[in-house]
Structures are given as C-alpha cells and as structure tokens.
Chains A and B, each alone.
Chain A
Amino acid sequence: MLTDLTIAEARDGLRAKQFTAEALTLEHLHAIEALNPRLNAYLSVGHAQAMEQARAADKALAEGDTRPLLGIPLAIKDLFCTKGVRTTAGSKILMPFVPPYESTVTANLLRDGAVFLGKTNMDEFAMGSSNMTSHYGPVENPWKRRQDPSAVLVPGGSSGGSAAAVAARLAMGATGTDTGGSIRQPASFCGLVGVKPTYGRCSRWGVVAFASSLDHPGPFGRTVRDSAILLGSMAGHDPKDSTSADVAVPDFEAACSRSIKGLRIGVPKEYRSDGMPGEIETLWQQGVAWLRDAGAEIIDVSLPHTKYGLGTYYIIAPAEASSNLARYDGVRFGLRVDGPELRDLYERTRAEGFGAEARRRIMIGTYVLSAGYYDAYYLRAQKVRALILRDFTEAFEKVDALLTPTAPSAAFAQGDKSDDPVTMYLNDVFTVPADLAGVPAASVPGGLDRDGLPLGLQVITRPFDEETMFAVAAALERAAGFAALPTLRAGA
C-alpha cells in the first residue's frame, strides 16, 4: 500500500513515475476517512486543498521539478498557523480562528512541494503529555496492548495527533512542537522517530506560542532518514523571529549515512526514575551495546542537575505561557463571552475558553512571576536552567552524543494518571532537560515492551550538531531493526 511507504521511498517512486502524487494523496485521504473517526488524530482534513496540491505536484514532477518534498502528504499539528485553514491549538478559545498568514515552517514545507492533508489534534496550547487536554477529544494510540487490546491508550502529547497519524499511516510525516518533550515522548509512545532540533533551528513565527524560550518545531517520521528529510525543509533562519538562529542548514539526510566509528557516546547515570520498568533499563543497555558494536566508544558521564529539570520546567514554561496566553481575551479574534463590563468580558471568555490544564498552568505562571515570588521561583529556575545547560556543555567536552531512554514508561491508558497533575508531569523527566538547554535530541524506536508497546531511545548532541544526532540515530535504527506495526493502521 502506498501509505506504507516511507517519504524517501515515495519520493523515489514519484520521480520514477511508479505512481502519481494524486494517487498517493487520495489513498491517504481514504485511510483518514476510514480510521480517523476512531483515532481522532485529525481535527480537520483539507480534501480539496490536498488534491489541488497533489495535482500541482504531478504537473511539476512531469516538468522535472526535483524539490525534496514534492507530492509528499503530511499532517500539520494544529499549533502551526496555516493560511485560510482553521487553527485551534487544541483549544476552545481559538475555535473560530482562521489565520490570515502561514507559519514560516509550514511555508517552507509548501515551498518544497509538500501536500497538507490536514491539521492534527493536540493537547490544548501544547500543555500536556497525553493529548487528553484537547478541547476536541482525546486521540487513540494506534498501538494496542497484547494482553488487553480493548484498552484505549494515549499517543503521548502534546503532539498526539501528529504521532498517531504518522503511526497509523494516515500521513507520511508530520510536524510537531517540543517544549517539554512533546515530539519525542509521543514518538516513543507511537513507535516513531521524533526530532527536537536545536533551539532556533526552526522558526517559531506563526507557531502559536506556548513557552517562547522552550518551543521547538520539529518533525515526525517513520524512519530516521524521513525525519532528516523533513527537518531539512522545515529548518532555516527567519528574520521575522528574533530567536531564529542565523546558521546554514546542513544536509541532514546525508548525515544519516555517516559512520559512528570512533564517536564517543555518553551514558548519563541520572536518567533513571523511580518505578521505571526494568524493560526500559534493559533496552537502554541494549542500545549501548548496539552503538558499541557499531564502533562507538561508550563513556559513563554525569549530568548532576537532571532531576531538577522538571521543577525548572514547571516554573519557566507556565510563566512564559501565562504571558503568551494573555492575548486570548475575546477582543480581536477567537471565542468571546460577553459581559457588562470589560473585566467580565475578559474573565468569562478566558474561563470558558481555556481548559482545566491551561487554566492551571496560567495560574502557576502568574503566581511565580508575581510580586514577591519572582526571585524565589522564576529567577532561581533560570539559574538552575543555566546549570542544566552547563551539565550538557561539560559532558560534551568528553563525549559527542548522549544515549538515554526517551520516556519512563510505554504508552499508558486513557484514565491512568489523570487524578494528579504531578503524575502526568513526570512523563517528561527524560525529555525536559534537552528543551531547557536547547540541545538537539531525537527519539528512535528501540523495541517493544512485554505488552507489545514501543519504547524509544533518545540521542542528544551538541547545539547545531543534528548531523551527529542523525548519524547515531540511524545507527540505532539499523541495529534495532524495529519492524513492528501498530494494530490500527491504514489498510489493516
């Protein structure tokens, strides 16, 4: 089935005229029609637009156009503003919002010929690790437990819809954003490759802001090569974003074929958590062995401030979010709940427009920035953040990459972990430090747990050294030979 192809394979197939872009897109649209009502991965599907883009791609292909994503159907997380297409950020407060502009990242993908199938579901304003906080309902993980196939599992979050769509073959690749782990953790839960590049590698212009200093747009792919192809198109300096890095975009795809012989791989002892299943530890050791076999040198390292990452994150992210979300006030766009006075307009609109988790984080953020608490919380957290970065910088003097587990568990069921917010926050323990430090990190599927659920391995490298990250990730991918398929998928 065309939907089983990788992006690299589809690209070759299109160029070799084995099938048309129209056929490729149509097959995906049929698959979405069949499976999305159950998965709820997509919030909106743009049939007409996708077919138009696919037909245009076919025309260009016939003329010998060799753009890297020509005719490739992708899913776009509903956090990216897409011109003329409703963008909700998974929230009620943006339900009526149709952006009059295209985000830089999605414009880059369109520039390179991609076809957009639709916008994917997500935790509201990217706040969550399970996609359960979306106003538009949860997403079902296409993977099922062997022991208990009726349990509905979460795909992870906040980019749950994108992950589920790619895993279920309802898209060949997808965009996501990673602020505390929101690409890597769902990638791990859904058996995908998920990449959080260096901070500033991809522009944030037109991406609905959650936590400005932590938001990283990045790709989902079913293979390392696919995600490298996607990142190559998404990345690039954007003068409209002051935090966009003015550095050239290397050939990420080529880096996937690099040998890792002689590379030094660090294994940080702190990447363990209480109650972490033994299988994850085992997989981690397996990953170390794979890399050693591929010629890398393994070195034990220490990142002593790792355990403070979550606390640091849950001060800084809500603080920035509380300010970024102040613009949702019912005046210029979005939901409006009227009231006799201005104060009523604001309070009612925001009470009704924001879900519980978003309200909770806005409250946390407002509190930690408020008078008397700034030094004790926000300032302190930014200092601990500096120490977390320093841990990485010092480690990278001894090693070229770090290998860790991606998540402290496999995908859990809807309904688990929902009582206590802190329990949910602990999902991000291994992903958060790389967000705080801005260093590139990718999750690669390493294997399955005893329940048949995917487990991911995380590779972290120096700032702007995604090439080494892709090289190591590709080596892991080759060694792991991960070929398992999710139960719920196109054509199954």
Chain B
Amino acid sequence: MGYALQGRSGSWEVVVGLEIHAQVISQAKLFSGAATAFGAEPNSQVSFVDAAFPGMLPVLNRVCVEQAVKTGLGLNAAINKVSRFDRKNYFYPDLPPGYQISQYEHPIVGKGEVEIECADGSTKMIGITRLHLEQDAGKSLHDQHPTKSYIDLNRAGVALMEIVSEPDIRSPDEAGAYVRKLRSIMRYLGTCDGNMEEGSLRADVNVSVRQPGEVAYRTRCEIKNVNSVRFVMQAVEAEALRQIDVWESGEEVRQETRLFDSGRGVTRPMRSKEDAHDYRYFPDPDLLPLVLDQAWIDDLKARLPELPDAKKTRFMTEYGLSVYDAGVLVAEQATALFYETVAKGRDPKLAANWVTGDFFAALNSTGRTIDDPPVTAVQLGLLLDLMADKTINGKIAKDVFEAMVETGEDPASIVDRKGLRQVTDTGAIDAAVDKIIAGNQDKVAEYKSGKEKLFGFFVGQVMKAMQGKANPALVNETLKRRLT
C-alpha cells in the first residue's frame, strides 16, 4: 500500500511537497559585489545596495545565473530562455529594502524531475515544478537582549535557488531521500555545498494528509526552515499526525505556516505571520528581462560533470557493482572518484568491498573526511595489488591497512618493515601441516570419521603456526591432500 499512518478512524496517506532554498556557490552576492563567505564578522559583508541605502540599484551576477541553469540541467528541467525578476513586498528588519527580489511568474527554470532511492531499494520519480533565483535575507538574533532584536545583514542579498517539488512525496523516507538526492546533485555540480548546518540548504516542508482513495488534496500547512534531513523526516511525521488528529476530531486543518520544534518533536504555528501576506508582486523596474542564449545553455550542458544517477548506472555496468554498493559510492562525487582510482585496473568488486568496508570504517574512526583521508586511493590500490600478486593474504592485508591508517605509510613499506610477506613456500607449508597433523592425531581421526567441521580447526592451527602469513589457498589444498 505504501506509507500510511494509523489514525483512530483508519489509515491516512501523507502528501508532501518540498521547497528547498539552496545558497548558490558564488564569490559575490546575487545583485551586489559583497562577499558571501560564511562566518564573517557581523555586517562586514554588506554593501550599500544590500543595506538598501537611498539610490542604490541591483546588478545581476553572471555566475549565479550560470549556477541556476546548471542546477536546472541537473534536474532534467526546462531552461526558460526568458525570465524575469519580480519584487516580493513585505516589511521585516532582515529585509532592508522592504522587498525581496525574486522570480514569480517567469522563473529561470521550469519543469523537471529527479529519481530518488527509497529505503526498500525501489526508485521513484519526483517532479520538479520550477527553480528560481532570489535574494536571501539577513539574520535576526532575538536572544541577545531582553527587549531588542539584533540584525546582521551579511546574508542579505546572497543568491538562493528555490527549488519547488511537485506534491509527489508520500512518506518521511521519500522526503529524506529527495533532499539527499538534490543535495548530491548540487554538490556534484558545484552549485550549492548543501551544508544544512550552516544554513546553505534549508527546506520548507508542505504537508497535508488524506484518506486512501481521495483524489483531491486537503488543506496543507507549511513548516518553514527545516535545517536537517533528519528533521525533515521527523517534521513530516509530526505534522501529519497533528493534522490527522485535527481531522479526526471533526475540526478542519487551517492553512498556516509553522515551525518544527526539534526538541519536542512537534510543529507549532509561527507567531509573526498572523494574516495572509499580500506580497504585491510586480516586475522589478530596476532590472530588465533576463534573456539566455541557447548556444550558451548548450555549452553549459556539454560541460556538466557526470551526475550521480548516470555514474551509478555506469558503476553497475562497468564494474558489476550491486545497485546498493553503486549507490553508496556515488553519493558523494569525491567518494566516487576515490573508488574509481582504486578500482582502475583491479578487481572492482574487491575494491568496492574495501572502500565501503574498511576504508569507510577508517574514516569514521579517525573522524576524517573523503577530502582529507587517512589513506589515499593510490595507497589503497597498492594494497589491493599486494593481495593480487599474493605478496600478502586477505587477513594480513587488514592488519597492513590498520597500520596504513595509523602511520600514513605505503603498504609495501609496512609489509617489509613488519616482515608480513605471505608464505607460499610449499615446503614450509607442508612442514607446518605435517606438524599439526602429527600433534593432533585424535582430531585427525574424528575428522576422517565424518566430523567435517574440524577442517577449520586445522586451518586455524596451521595459520597460527605460520603467524597468519601462509597463503590460505595453499594451506587448504595441502591439508585436503594430507587428510584424505
């Protein structure tokens, strides 16, 4: 049936649409030359244009336009060659001019779609309604003074892409998958760093509920500024439950804007938005229509990097990886690049196991990231080579890897230094096997009489005697011969 919540009267479906606000990666702001870097001293990245001083005027940043178009192309969306900027008028201290320059009727990007991977492994297409460029607002601090709010305009005027989804999402899991996918695509494109903790990616979550079989949508509420994937998922469920309760109590859900209180796990109404806003949208008379050249769009498209979906498909066909492994490896572009460096000219499945297994575990334990790993892709590749040419066996390789993580040394030098070369000398193996067999005649007898599981005991004893350095295949083969 799909995701459903149980109310007092039966099952309920959840309908979710997301509006993602993604901060554009650019040096300067959308309409002014002030810097966009995060974490600067208050009001130190503010121009007179951003502060809406008298007589100041907006001038559009070329790179912001490019980033929006690249993102649109990454979402398989229509690029609108003619788009327009409109003013959205309202009063708030973090909005110096008293209006936000946005795009209302004619956004730069139109309809598109994105494939998401659900927890159960299935995929689903989520429709994109539009993407438009708009200014971010400044920041208000309400907790620094008993009776005053403090305003920092550093963020005012930074370029945002607002990406609106169709109401195609039907569960918290899908909502989470959608946000993660969008984030991944934009990180691949270099158009947004997707850092939700720093606020460069925020989600407004629109939620409504309905009972199975209903075709129309019921009233929805908007939960604003949710700043983590986990909270998006929690907010969906919390709000859905609240709405179900309202409907089942015989009341009607009122359309309103709400906030997610992550501490208590519930949504609550926003107090500053008492009445419906009349934004009085009209075309910004300080700007002209934005006209894009098809050749320029085509050139951007040709220069796009391979995106996650395409890369995942290629990893499955070219490297024979499972859909799960391929998915894990392409989530971050840097990880995919790491993997391919390791896999090139080597066993791709083995490479995948090592990257997703030991390597990811090492990242976790050292607290390092793919951009600054404790072991490089080249080094990991060399480790795999040592196994392939039988210099070491798989178990020793794990020990070598641990040492690599600790010291950053190349695997070959660790093997030499610690004398870990695999023993393939059949003479030595024969001798060790003979010794173990001789010393365990009772077990040999048990084995020969049918207790086949004891084979492992012999393997273990031989390996122990050879300090783990024996070639396991040879050990097995020798033991088999001797024990029959």
Chain A interface (Cβ < 8 Å from any Cβ of B): 80-81, 87, 89, 94, 97, 99-101, 103, 204-209, 211-213, 239-243, 319-320, 322-323, 326-327, 329, 331-333, 342, 346, 366, 369-371, 374, 378
A208–B55 CA distance with the chains assembled, in angstroms: 4
Which chain B residue shows the least CB distance to A244? B57
Asked if B48 is an interface residue, CB under 8 A from chain A, the answer is: yes
B53 touches A333 (CB 8 A): yes
- Chain A contacts of B91 at CB under 8 A? 326, 329, 346
**Interface contact B282-A378, CB-CB below 8 Å:** yes
> Which 9 A-B pairs give the minimum distances between C-beta atoms?
A326-B98, A212-B285, A369-B280, A213-B285, A206-B55, A327-B52, A208-B54, A371-B278, A327-B97
**Pairwise interchain contact B55-A81, C-beta atoms closer than 8 A:** yes
Cα-based distance from A229 to B288 in the complex (angstroms): 30
Q: Is B371 an interface residue (CB 8 A)?
A: no
Q: Please name all residues of chain B whose beta carbon is closer than 8 Å to the beta carbon of A378 when the two chains form the complex.
A: 282
Could you pull out 30 A-B pairs where Cβ atoms are within 8 angstroms?
A81-B54, A81-B55, A89-B54, A94-B54, A99-B55, A100-B48, A101-B48, A101-B53, A101-B55, A204-B55, A205-B55, A206-B56, A208-B54, A209-B55, A212-B286, A242-B59, A242-B287, A243-B285, A243-B287, A243-B288, A323-B98, A323-B280, A326-B98, A327-B96, A329-B98, A331-B151, A369-B280, A370-B280, A371-B280, A374-B281
Partner of A326 from the list B54, B99, B278, B288 (CB cut-off 8 Å) is B99
**Residue of B with least CB distance to A206:** B55
- Interface residue? B58 (CB, 8 A): yes
The interface bits of chain B over 91-103 (1 if a CB of A lies within 8 angstroms of the residue's CB, else 0) are 1010011110000
Distance (whole angstroms) from the CB of B223 to the closest CB of chain A: 24
- On whether A332 and B52 interact (CB within 8 A), knowing A212-B286, A327-B96, A378-B282, the answer reads yes
For A213, list chain B residues within 8 Å (CB): 285
Task: Report the Cα distance A366→B52, complex, angstroms.
Answer: 19
Kindly provide the distance from the CB of B330 to the nearest chain A CB, expressed in whole angstroms. 41
Once the chains bind, are A87 and B54 in contact (CB under 8 Å)? yes
In the assembled complex, which residues on chain B have CB atoms less than 8 Å from the CB atom of A94? 54
* Closest A residue to B276 using CB positions: A371
Residues of chain B contacted by A329 (CB below 8 angstroms):
91, 98
B266 within 8 A of A: no
Question: Hey, which chain B residues are within 8 Å of A81, CB to CB?
Answer: 54-55
Kindly state whether residue B60 has any CB partner on chain A within 8 Å: yes
Chain A contacts of B53 at CB under 8 A?
A: 99, 101, 327, 332-333
CA distance A333 to B96 in the complex (A): 11
Question: What is the chain B residue whose CB lies nearest that of A80?
Answer: B55
Contact indicator per residue, chain B 43-76, by CB within 8 Å of chain A (1) or not (0): 0000010011111111110000000000000000
B78 to chain A, nearest CB (A): 25
CA distance A89 to B55 in the complex (A): 11
Closest chain B CB from A438 CB (angstroms):
12
Name the residue in B54, B89, B93 with the highest tally of chain A Cβ atoms < 10 Å from its Cβ.
Answer: B54
Contact in complex: A204, B48 (CB < 8 Å): no
CB distance from B149 to the nearest CB of A (A): 8
A97 / chain B contacts, CB cutoff of 8 Å: 54
| CA distance in complex: A33, B445 (Å) | 126
Q: Which residues of B contact A374 (CB under 8 A)?
A: 280-282
Contact with A243, one of B52, B99, B282, B286 (Cβ below 8 angstroms) = B286
**In this assembly, does B183 line the interface, its C-beta being within 8 Å of a C-beta of chain A?**
no
**B residues in contact with A243, CB < 8 Å:** 57, 285-288
Is B421 on the interface with A (CB-CB < 8 A)? no
Closest partner residue, chain A, to B98 (CB atom): A326
Q: B21 contacts the other chain (Cβ, under 8 Å)?
A: no
Q: How far does the Cβ of A413 sit from chain B's closest Cβ, in whole Å? A: 32
Asked if B87 is at the interface of the complex by the 8 Å CB criterion, the answer is yes
A437 to B290, CA, bound (A): 21
Please report the C-alpha to C-alpha distance between residue A366 and residue B280 in the assembled complex, in whole angstroms.
Answer: 8
Q: Which residue in chain B gives the minimum CB-CB distance to A319? A: B282
CA distance A180 to B287 in the complex (A): 20
A242, B278: Cβ atoms closer than 8 Å: no
- Residues from chain A with Cβ under 8 Å of B89 in the complex: 322-323, 326, 369
Q: Which residues of A contact B56 (CB under 8 A)?
A: 205-206
Output the residue of A89, A213, A320, A332 with the most chain B CB within 10 A.
Answer: A332
User: Which B residues are CB-close (under 8 A) to A103?
Assistant: 55
Answer whether A241 and B285 are a contact pair too, CB < 8 Å, given A326-B91, A342-B93, A370-B278. Answer: no
Of B55, B93, B149, B278, the most chain A CB neighbours within 10 A belong to B55
Q: What's the least CB distance linking A16 to chain B, in Å? A: 38
> Contact partner of B54 among A209, A211, A331, CB < 8 A?
A209
Inter-chain CA distance A97–B52, complex, in Å, is 13
Assess whether A239 is in contact with B280, with CB atoms less than 8 Å apart: no
